[in-house]
Every structure is written in structure tokens, then in C-alpha cells.
């Protein structure tokens, strides 16, 4: 035990100082090499890995990647997907993990390394907040379907329910009417709140609060269930799916290789877009999670493991999805492209209808919606942790009131309009604008700030200080040139190929699109606004603010 000598001045008499010495043991404080007091850390390394995997592996892995693969050349789509994964996805994933772990701060606080870029921290916090408003309601829809599945006969099988529309048929998107979408004719007529959906949203918010209120000590335990359960359920569904008639045809269509599709620029753009959004870069979640790691944690290895698992999960889920789509195609004697779709329609319309035709359909429905629930919960936890950690690290007085502040953040989401009958229209609008171009812009500014202002060499020194060796030349080249160019290209393409949102045949009015753009710009403008504020309020030259 290290001891210190404490010298105490007792008194002074006749010009002579009398002193007393004692041996004391210093108060144990954990500090990093910067001399700062250590923050809370994950209970176990596996808690962190499961949290990152649980956040990155979300509903989009089930409802988007398989459809993109099928639509864009089957197995050939893996070529551009893996290419962009290697040159941009993994380097950016690694960059965010290292950034959070070294600086021990949330999305805004990490920019103490380059203060003029702090606005991008608030950009990603706002994006996570916006996404939370509709993502939590998706989870409440899954919960509502789950509760509705505890019956002898699933309620969306027939048209003899009080809530069926006159256009109902035994094969006409009956799964969607359980949400009463047919009672609203657009975003300007959202209808009444539905107490069932509102109650499910309240339950989701309570679950999220008690998963997050104590920080990573509680959330790190919750993910042991929420991050692993989807893999169990996907495996069970695959084993059932491959036994269905038509399943093999569906899987063949999923994997069919059409290399001629690689000549289409749109295929490459969709692969690049999928990489950007599937890994969860730019939401501030990876920064927040890694900030609770031990300083010497091997974030390089973590980046490789977790990003690879995310991509493999997307590929694996395609077998599950297309085994059931092939079954539906054969059962209803329609072409596969008539039943194949992406988005919420796949998991809330097509899949429930496929499950409803199976023996023991209620059991399979319960299993499926438990998977959706767990896929959504840990991703929602990640988004909310990004907001909470980002703000309490920026406003230090909130550290002592984390439980109350967490309650305040989760309570915000209870005011979401999505439990209304026309909530699907609000969801479609938010999903289109809240984290589209704005998230690409945020990651672009983040990459520029690290590579060109803070400096790749200095960033590499930080990583060496943590894990004992510098990143290889490949990673440094990606951070400095490849990834920023890739992101700049994606931002330009996102603006150039913009299409207004639609829900089926419904086209949103001009005012709704304008509102969506205002939402997107509100997060992006945080970057220039904060930079202007910093330049105007701090003395010195530009280099003093940026370095």
C-alpha cells in the first residue's frame, strides 16, 4: 500500500514552528493517463459487446437488408455491400468506438479535442431524440401484436372483426387494419388516439426507464436477454420456415446471382446507404457506449467483431424472411415480387399473414413478436443512452440527478402522436426525414473534424496510448481520405436523388414535406450555429478554437 507523509503545522512559538507528521493512505481514485477521474464502467466486457450488437442489430436487419439483396441482384449485391463495409463501415465504426473510449465523454463532450466541431455532437443527439419519437412506437406496435396473438385464432385472419374495413378480404393486407390505419385518410386527419396502442407505448416507456435509470450497470444486464433472444428466435423460425412448401424457391430467389445488376449505379448507392445506416454510426450511441469502457480496452478488436456480427445477422435473417415469402408466394399462387417488400409492411403485414396460415399460428406469432420486441428494445435503449450520456456529460450538474433526468427524457416520448389511428403516416414522415440526409451529414462532419482538424496522427497516438499499438496505414488512409470522400458522395447523392415520402398510394402534402425538411435541417444547422457561436465568444484566432 502506497503511503504519504502528511506534514501539519501545529503552532508557531518564539519564531519556531512546531510540526507533526503522520502516515496517511491516499484516497483511491481511478485516473486515466490524462489525470481525469475515471467514470462508471461496464460490469463485464460482454455487457458492452452485447449492448453494441443489440443496438446495431435492429428491425432494419430483418425488414430492409434481405429485400435490398433480393431486389439488387441477389448474391451479387454482397459485392458492393462488402466493399463499402470495408472502406467505410468498419473504419467509421472503429473511429467512433476509439473516440468515445479515449475521451470518456458522450457525443458532445468528446469534441473538447476540437471545440469548433462540438455542434456535430448536438446534431447526433438531436437525431437520436427524433428517432426515439417513432422508434419507441414501433416497439409498442410489436407489443400490441404480441398481446393480440394470445388467442385461439389470430385477429387478422378473417374479415369478421368490428374494426375491418369494407375493402377487407382474406388476402389484402389484413395485418395493417389491426392498427386502424384505415380510419385515417392521411396525415392531415390522424383520427383519435387508440387506448390499446397508448397503453402499450406506456409499458414500453416504463421498460426503457428501468433499463436505463442506473446507467450501464442496469442496461448491461438487460441486453443479455434483448441482444441474444433474436438469434434464438431467428434460428427457430428458420428451422420452421425451410420445411414450408415454396420456401426453397424463396431462398433461391434471395441468393440468385445477377452480376449484370452491378452495372446499375443505383445498386451501389443502395449498398452504400445500407452500410451507413445498418451499423448505427452517427447516432452517438457507439461513442456513448465506448465511453464507459476501461481506458485500455481493445476497441479495435471490438469494432471488427461487432460490425462483422451485424452484417452476418443481416445476411442470416434473409434466409428466414425469404423462406416465408416463398411459402406465401406459392400458397397464394402469385409472383414472389408481389409479396416481397421492405419496411414496416414486411413485419406488420406480410409476416403476420404468413404466420396466421401455419398450424399453431398463435404460438408462432408470439415467438415472432417477442423477437421484434427484443430487437427494438435494445436499439431504443442505445438511442436514449446517446441522448442521456451526451447531455449529462455536457451539463455536469445532471450527473447527480441521472435517475430524474432519465425519467424526463423517456417521458418526452409519451407525447408521440403515433398511437393515433393515422400514426403510420407520422411514422413514415419521421422515418424519411429524421435520420436520412442529416445522419450522413453528421458523420461527414465528424470524419472531417477527426481526420483534418484534430489530425489522423494525433488520433492514432490516442489509440496507441489505449491499446498499445497504432492503427495500420490502411485505417489511417480510410479515415483521412476514403471515408470522408465516401460520405461526401453519399450526402450529394442523398440530396440529388431525394424523393418525397409516400405510404402506399398516398402522397404527402407539400406542408408535410416542408415540415420534414425543417426537422432534418434543425439537426444539421447545429454544426454551423455552434461554430459561429464559438468563433464569436472566444478570444484568439481560428486555430485556437479548432485545435
Residue carrying the nine cell digits 440468385: 256
d(CA 20, CA 187): 78
Cell numbers representing residue 17 in the block: 514552528
453-459 contacts: CB < 8 A, separation 24 or more?
453/114, 453/116, 453/117, 453/546, 453/547, 454/113, 454/114, 454/547, 456/480, 459/95, 459/98, 459/99
- 269 in Cβ contact with 89 (< 8 Å): no
State the binding site. 54, 56-57, 61, 278, 310, 375, 378-379
Any residues with CB less than 8 A from the CB of 309 and at least 6 apart, and which? 53, 57
Q: Which residue has the cell 416497439?
A: 139
Query: Given the C-alpha cell 423462406, which residue does it identify?
Result: 323
Dist. CA 163–CA 327, nearest whole Å: 28
- C-alpha distances (whole Å) from 301 to each of 98, 213, 332, 350, 475 are 11, 29, 47, 38, 13
| 411 contacts: CB under 8 Å, gap ≥ 6 | 205
Cα three-residue angle 313-319-321, rounded to 5 degrees: 95
Report residue 267 as a C-alpha cell. 445498386
Q: Which residues are annotated as a binding site for Na(+)?
A: 54, 56-57, 61, 278, 310, 375, 378-379
How many other CB atoms are there within 10 angstroms of residue 56's CB atom? 28
3-class state of residue 95 by DSSP = helix
Amino acid at each position: 500500500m502506497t503511503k504519504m507523509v502528511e506534514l501539519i503545522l501545529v503552532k508557531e512559538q518564539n519564531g519556531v514552528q512546531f510540526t507533526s507528521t503522520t502516515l496517511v493512505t491516499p484516497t483511491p481514485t481511478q485516473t486515466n493517463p490524462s489525470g481525469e477521474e475515471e467514470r462508471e464502467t461496464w460490469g463485464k466486457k460482454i455487457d458492452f459487446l452485447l449492448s453494441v450488437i443489440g443496438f446495431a442489430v435492429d428491425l432494419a436487419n430483418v425488414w430492409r437488408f434481405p429485400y435490398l439483396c433480393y431486389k439488387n441482384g441477389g448474391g451479387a449485391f454482397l459485392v458492393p455491400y462488402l466493399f463499402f463495409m470495408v472502406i467505410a463501415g468498419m473504419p467509421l465504426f472503429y473511429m467512433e468506438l476509439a473516440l468515445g473510449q479515449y475521451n470518456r465523454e458522450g457525443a458532445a463532450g468528446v469534441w473538447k479535442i476540437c471545440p469548433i466541431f462540438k455542434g456535430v455532437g448536438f446534431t447526433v443527439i438531436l437525431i437520436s431524440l427524433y428517432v426515439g419519437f417513432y422508434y419507441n412506437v414501433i416497439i409498442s406496435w410489436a407489443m400490441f401484436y404480441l398481446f393480440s396473438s394470445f388467442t385461439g385464432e389470430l385477429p387478422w385472419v378473417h374479415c369478421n372483426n368490428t374494426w375491418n374495413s369494407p375493402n377487407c378480404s382474406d388476402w389484402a393486407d389484413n395485418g395493417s387494419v389491426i392498427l386502424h390505419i384505415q380510419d385515417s385518410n392521411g396525415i392531415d386527419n390522424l383520427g383519435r388516439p387508440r387506448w390499446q396502442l397508448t397503453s402499450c407505448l406506456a409499458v414500453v416507456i416504463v421498460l426503457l426507464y428501468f433499463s436505463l435509470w442506473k446507467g450501464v450497470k442496469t442496461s448491461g444486464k438487460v441486453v443479455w436477454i434483448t441482444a441474444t433472444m433474436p438469434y434464438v428466435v431467428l434460428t427457430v423460425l428458420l428451422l420452421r420456415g425451410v420445411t414450408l412448401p415454396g420456401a426453397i424457391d424463396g431462398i433461391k430467389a434471395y441468393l440468385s446471382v445477377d452480376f449484370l445488376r452491378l452495372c446499375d449505379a443505383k445498386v451501389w448507392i443502395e449498398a452504400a446507404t445500407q452500410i451507413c445506416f445498418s451499423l448505427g454510426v452517427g447516432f452517438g450511441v457507439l461513442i456513448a457506449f465506448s465511453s464507459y469502457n476501461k481506458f485500455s480496452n481493445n476497441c479495435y478488436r471490438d469494432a471488427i467483431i461487432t460490425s462483422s456480427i451485424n452484417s452476418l445477422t443481416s445476411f442470416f435473417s434473409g434466409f428466414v424472411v425469404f423462406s416465408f415469402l416463398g411459402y406465401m408466394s406459392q400458397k397464394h399462387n402469385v409472383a414472389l415480387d408481389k409479396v416481397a417488400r421492405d419496411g414496416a409492411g414486411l413485419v406488420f403485414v406480410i409476416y403476420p399473414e404468413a404466420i396466421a396460415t401455419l398450424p399453431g399460428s398463435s404460438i408462432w406469432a408470439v415467438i415472432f413478436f417477442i423477437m421484434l420486441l427484443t430487437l427494438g428494445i435494445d436499439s431504443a435503449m442505445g438511442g436514449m443512452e446517446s441522448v442521456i450520456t451526451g447531455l449529462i456529460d455536457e451539463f455536469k450538474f445532471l450527473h447527480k440527478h441521472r435517475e430524474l433526468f432519465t425519467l424526463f427524457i423517456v417521458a418526452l416520448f409519451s407525447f408521440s402522436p403515433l398511437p393515433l389511428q393515422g400514426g403510420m403516416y407520422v411514422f413514415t414522415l419521421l422515418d424519411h426525414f429524421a435520420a436520412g440526409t442529416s445522419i450522413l451529414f453528421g458523420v461527414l462532419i465528424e470524419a472531417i473534424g477527426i481526420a483534418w482538424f484534430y489530425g489522423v496522427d494525433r488520433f492514432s497516438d490516442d489509440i496507441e496510448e489505449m491499446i498499445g499499438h497504432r492503427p495500420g496505414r490502411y485505417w489511417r488512409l480510410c479515415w483521412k481520405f476514403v471515408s470522408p470522400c465516401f460520405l461526401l458522395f453519399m450526402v450529394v447523392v442523398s440530396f440529388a436523388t431525394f424523393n418525397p415520402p409516400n405510404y402506399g398510394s398516398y402522397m404527402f402534402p407539400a406542408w408535410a414535406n416542408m415540415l420534414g425538411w425543417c426537422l432534418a435541417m434543425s439537426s444539421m444547422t447545429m454544426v454551423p450555429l455552434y461554430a459561429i457561436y464559438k468563433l464569436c465568444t472566444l478570444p484568439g484566432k481560428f486555430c485556437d478554437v479548432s485545435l
